[in-house]
A = this chain, B = another copy of it.
Amino acid sequence: MSNFPFQRLQVDLAALIARTPAGQRLPSEPELAKQLGVSRATLREAMRAFETQGLIRRRQGSGTFVVGKMRGLLDNGLEVLESLETMAKRLGLEVSVSDLSVESLPADDDAATALGVPSGTPLTRVRRVVRADGRPVAYLVDILPEAILHVEDLPVDFHGSVLDFLLDRGDPLRTSRANVSAIGGTAEVAKALEIQRGDVLLHFYSQLFDEENRIVDYSLSYFIPGYFHFHIMRRVGA
């Protein structure tokens, strides 16, 4: 549908790669270009993008090969930011949200530095507990300027994911930087997750950036180990 060959091409190529068994060779570039209705130069740019992502491998004189079943891995991985709700839905899991709290408050020093705004700036804070099988598995806190998300912007059926809301609204989000660590639950978190204070938790502290590299949101996530399996694909450093 798109009039932009490269974008359409990326979709088509991704589909082709996804349905091609690992290790198998793709059609030759001239042929693929003809099939997909683009020039070889454009096709090669797209292939270079996929090669950079490690999905295919090209060997001069031999051909282009799809590299592996990374697909399923990547999707569950941390390379792509998506809400827990979206992730759970994709994995066919049943999750529910409880203790949803949306409130406005002025920025304290921590929030001010994390968001790059002056102290006292009006903020919106969203907190929620995610449950699987009725048991708490994650406690999530999002904090962002009221200018970006006002309490009253939220629909009545808001299910808790700030990320999903911003995406639906069309905000130009780009990347998230997540700091990963392990901590013992504080009193507040322990209460929300129905665990003992000091129990082991996986902790993400992350900032969300828009396409101009401005900080849109920062969030604190606390996961009870064992329910979600987070993984990362890492490239070997040259």
Q: Can you tell how many copies of this chain the complex includes? A: 2
Residue A197 at the B interface, CB < 8 A? no
A173 to B234, CA, bound (A): 11
Residues of B contacting A53 in the complex (Cβ-Cβ under 8 angstroms) = 52
Residues of B contacting A234 in the complex (Cβ-Cβ under 8 angstroms) = 78-81, 175-178, 206
**Given contacts A200-B184, A203-B182, are A233 and B175 in contact (CB under 8 A)?**
yes
Question: Contact at A235–B80, with CB atoms within 8 Å?
Answer: yes
Among B67, B174, B223, which residue has its beta carbon within 8 angstroms of that of A54? B174
Q: Shortest Cβ distance from A63 into chain B, in angstroms?
A: 16
Residue A181 at the B interface, CB < 8 A? yes
Among B81, B176, B181, which residue has its beta carbon within 8 angstroms of that of A230? B181
Residues of B contacting A49 in the complex (Cβ-Cβ under 8 angstroms) = 48-49, 51-52
Question: Contact at A202–B177, with CB atoms within 8 Å?
Answer: no
Q: Shortest Cβ distance from A115 into chain B, in angstroms?
A: 17
Q: 18 pairs across A/B with beta carbons < 8 Å? A: A41-B41, A48-B49, A52-B53, A54-B175, A68-B213, A81-B236, A173-B236, A176-B234, A177-B232, A177-B234, A179-B231, A180-B231, A181-B230, A182-B182, A182-B183, A182-B200, A182-B202, A184-B200
Known contacts A22-B213, A49-B52, A52-B53; can you find 7 more A-B pairs with CB under 8 A?
A: A78-B232, A174-B236, A178-B234, A180-B202, A181-B225, A181-B230, A200-B201
Q: Chain A residues in contact with chain B, CB under 8 A? A: 22, 41, 44-46, 48-49, 51-54, 57, 67-68, 73, 78-82, 86, 163, 167, 173-184, 198, 200-203, 206, 208, 211, 213, 223, 225-226, 229-237
